[in-house]
Structure 1
Amino acid sequence: MNIFRTAMAAALCLVAAIGMAQAQAKKPTQDEVKALTLKAAELVAAKGIDEAAKVFTTEGDFKYGEVYINVIDTQGNWVVFPPKPENKGKSVLNFVDEDGKELGKDILNTGLKGEGWTEYRWKNPATNTIQPKVTYVKRVPGKDLIVYSGIYK
């Protein structure tokens, strides 16, 4: 009887672990990415960029799988870029996607207008391949900063 209980407990643990892994691997929706971007902008506004950057660059609510929060200033320079932290201070204005779309300028201009969506093709750090991406952009109220995040289609 003890062997049966042990086997059942192990099976339940395995099912729970698989369920958790599937929940973590769940691809976020566009609505979820928009909500995350708005939440990130609120965090920057409330706590400042230094505190927010610590959260944005650590695995957790704002950085998981293919999702990460980027921050640029209103001049188009990266303030936070989790896939390549060494890009901090570099301009995004000359970034173009595989189709020649000036995505850096598009993101900046969308943020300068307040907020909105932009689409382009970009390298997915989770798969290391170029994929279509849709990104939500939000200017941080009262700051010269723009927050954005997206998902790959």
Structure 2
Amino acid sequence: MSKAVLLGIILMFFVAASGFFYQQQVENQQKTQLVFLVDQAVQLVEQDGENAFAELRGSSWVHNDSYIFVWRIDGIRVVYPPDPSGEGKNMTGLVDSAGKPIGKLFIQTAEKGSGWVDYMWPKPGETVPSLKITYIKKAQYQNQTYLVGSGVYI
């Protein structure tokens, strides 16, 4: 193998590796921002209960394709900014395009306290599913338990 071919292979490896590490850095930054946003929303719900819902529907809680959503722990969606007509629906049976039971996973994650759920979901205006990761966290207000979440497409 010539030195030029070997050098080309090494260069391609470094370009691919740097692209991978850049993507990881972007994902980590997005995850950090989601956790911060969800933590703020949980504080608001735990302080104001249902009185927080109107604010969470507002534009200050919507960033690009990400928004805060809130369900009761029984699966009833109570805040859904992209389509408020979807509020009041039982989301327990929600599945992604591969049949993954994301409704149940969201609830299980909240019952544990907090965590991440990844799944395939179409971006707004698209039909082909993309990888989406969603951070879920439990919120308590008086005798009601909620799950608060927000996701981002990868």
Quote the residue 2:66 is aligned against: 67
* Distance of 2:82 and 2:74 partners within structure 1: 21
State the TM-score, normalized to the length of structure 2: 0.75
Question: For the residues of structure 1 that align with 2:140 and 2:76, how far apart are their CA atoms?
Answer: 18
Query: What secondary structure sits across from 1:112 in the alignment?
Result: helix
Match of 1:58 in 2: 58
Letter in 2 for 1:128: E
- Paired position in structure 2 for 1:128: 126
Q: CA deviation at 1:151?
A: 0.6
Q: State the AA in 1 paired with 2:140.
A: P
Bigger fraction of residues in helix: 2
Taking the aligned partners of 2:47 and 2:150, their CA distance within structure 1 comes to 19
SS of the aligned residue for 2:88 comes to: coil
Secondary structure at 1:29's aligned position in 2?
helix
Q: Could you tell me whether the CA contact under 8 Å between 2:45 and 2:140 is conserved in 1?
A: no
Instruction: Give the residue type in structure 1 aligned to 2:41.
Output: A
Equivalent pairs: percent with the same residue?
A: 32
After superposition, what is the alpha-carbon deviation per residue over 1:26-78, rounded to whole angstroms, capped at 9, x for unaligned? 9961111011111100011112223x222221111x11211100100011110
- Counterpart Cα distance in 2 of 1:95 and 1:147: 16
Residue 130 of structure 2 aligns with an amino acid whose one-letter code is Q
Please give the alpha-carbon distance, in whole angstroms, between the structure 2 residues aligned to 1:77 and 1:56: 16
Counterpart in 2 of 1:34?
Answer: 35
Distance apart, 1:131 and its partner CA: 1.4
Unaligned runs of 5+ in 1: 1-25
What letter corresponds to residue 132 of structure 1 in structure 2?
L
Q: Structure 1 residue 123: deviation in Å?
A: 2.6
Match of 1:145 in 2: 146
Q: Report runs of 4+ in structure 1 exceeding 3 Å deviation.
A: none
Residue 102 of structure 1 aligns with which residue?
A: 101
Q: Please say which of residues 127-136 and 112-121 is displaced more in the overlay.
A: 127-136
SS at 2:111 equivalent:
helix
Correspondence for 1:82:
81
Equivalent position of 1:112 in the other structure: 111
Question: What amino acid sits opposite 1:89 in the alignment?
Answer: G
Question: Where do 5+ consecutive residues of structure 2 fail to align?
Answer: 1-25
> Aligned with 1:75: secondary structure?
coil
Partner amino acid, structure 2, of 1:74: I
